[in-house]
Structure 1
Amino acid sequence: MSAVNERRERERAHRHQLIITAARELAEAEGWEAVTTRRLAERVEYSQPVLYSHFTGKDAIVSAVAIDGFSELAAHLRRARQAAPEQGQTLRAVCRAYLNFAVERPALYQAMFVLHTDLKFASAETPPPLRAAFDEFVSCFRPDSQRRELFAEVTWSALHGMAVLSDSGRILPDGQEERLDFLVTQIADSGASRDD
């Protein structure tokens, strides 16, 4: 590849990331309803056709934001798992980190789990950042367990329900620790967790 082509590719990658960052910032400030191609074009100072040369529309932008979010979530969960204070706390630390992530980054969490995207979960086409985040849950369960992915799915599903219901006011946020304790205890009592 020539130096000119390499420079063009770097500029394209930079524009691509600039659009993703602008969409995320706008969503965090004003909600996803405010994220339109017109507003993004104004914000990044490119024309709408330039935006469409990177993304086919809003769903594609949301998907790109979600992938960035899964990379962040995977790193966040990994740090929590590795910093677990003692044996017996790994699953709890990862679960708490997940719930904190959802509360601290609500617009990002919506892009990852609530809004429509074309991202494929649990398939051969699952993007690596999604799998990396899921694998942090899988790592909390005994390697010799044939059902460790099932336990990870159930844990993630329960946490997602807690996060969404709490965010929407359908369950009270001040009961979150008790719900978390219950979930972790039930999973640990099943003998699936590395923490038992």
Structure 2
Amino acid sequence: MSIAERKERQRAERYELILAAARELAEAEGWDAVTTRRLADLINYSQPVLYSHFKGKAEIMAAVATRGFEELAARLEAETVKAAGAGGVLRNVCAAYVDFARSHAVVYEAMFVLPTNIKFASDDTPPALRAAFAALVAALGPDRREPVFLAEVLWGALHGLVVLMQSGRIPASGAEARLEVLVEKFSDKAQVSGPLEPHKPA
């Protein structure tokens, strides 16, 4: 291995170490506790070394969020092949979304709750985020009118349920029943009436 290759490998390892430390600290104390100083102390590197990878906390959070998009997309895409029929796929995908959000609460917060520099619904949207949204569109089944709008409403409903449960506004004990209601409503083949403006997907 050449010196350049060794340095590149060490740099990649430091990058992963920073992300892991940020996620662990956020899970233990919340994102407010994540600072470049705390992270530098945790990984035993100076702040200048940390800044050679990330300009600041916002970029670290965005990197954690991007990894979350990748994992979420993989899970949703996997669910689309596990059940026959649009209804079964839809329930699998919705359940996987809720389970991901509940089991990765800190990552989900970085992905969809806290402000980051990640662009949604634009040409700069990360491919993994596009893939996750595409899985929601696919889960609705074929021949749905305005599937992008419908998927956005589905996403909004799922996100709303997740945030309300995680904040204690509604009890977590009713999660399964709410999910069944949601899937039933979105499995309905009734189409949206009236003209809709062209829209760019997430």
The alignment's TM-score, normalised by the length of structure 1, stands at 0.90
Gaps of 5+ in 1: none
Structure 1 position 120 matched with structure 2 position 119:
yes
**In the TM superposition, what are the counterparts of 1:33-182 in structure 2 within 5 Å?**
33-84=32-83, 86-87=84-85, 88-182=87-181
Give % identity.
55
Is 2:58–2:116's contact at 8 Å kept on the other side of the alignment? yes
- How many correspondences in the alignment? 190
- Aligned-pair distance for 1:146? 4.7
Q: Deviations over 1:13-70 (max 9, x none)?
A: 2211211111011111222122111111111111011111111111111000000011
Following superposition, the deviation at residue 116 of structure 1 comes to: 1.4
Which residue identity is paired with 1:116? P
CA distance in structure 2 between the aligned counterparts of 1:66 and 1:99, rounded to whole angstroms? 16
Write the distance in 2 (CA, Å) between the matches of 1:4 and 1:99.
Answer: 45
**Alpha-carbon separation, structure 1, partners of 2:169 and 2:189:** 28
Task: Tell me the distance in 2 between the aligned counterparts of 1:163 and 1:142.
Answer: 23
The answer to whether the aligner puts 1:24 opposite 2:23 as a matched pair is yes
How far is the alpha carbon of 1:149 from its aligned partner?
A: 1.4
SS at match of 1:139: helix
Report the alpha carbon displacement of residue 191 of structure 1 after superposing the two structures with TM. Answer: 4.4
How far apart, in 1, do the equivalents of 2:179 and 2:187 lie?
A: 12
CA–CA separation in structure 2 for the residues paired with 1:72 and 1:12 = 23
Comparing 156-165 and 26-35, the one that deviates more = 26-35
Q: Which amino acid aligns with 2:152?
A: E
Shift of 1:115: 1.2
Secondary structure at 1:82's aligned position in 2? Answer: coil
TM-score (norm 2): 0.87
CA separation in 1, counterparts of 2:12 and 2:78? 28
1:114 offset after TM fit, Å?
1.1
Q: Which sits farther off after the overlay, 37-46 or 143-152?
A: 143-152
Out of 108-117 and 29-38, give the one that drifted further.
Answer: 29-38
Using the TM superposition, name which of 139-148 and 176-185 deviates more: 139-148
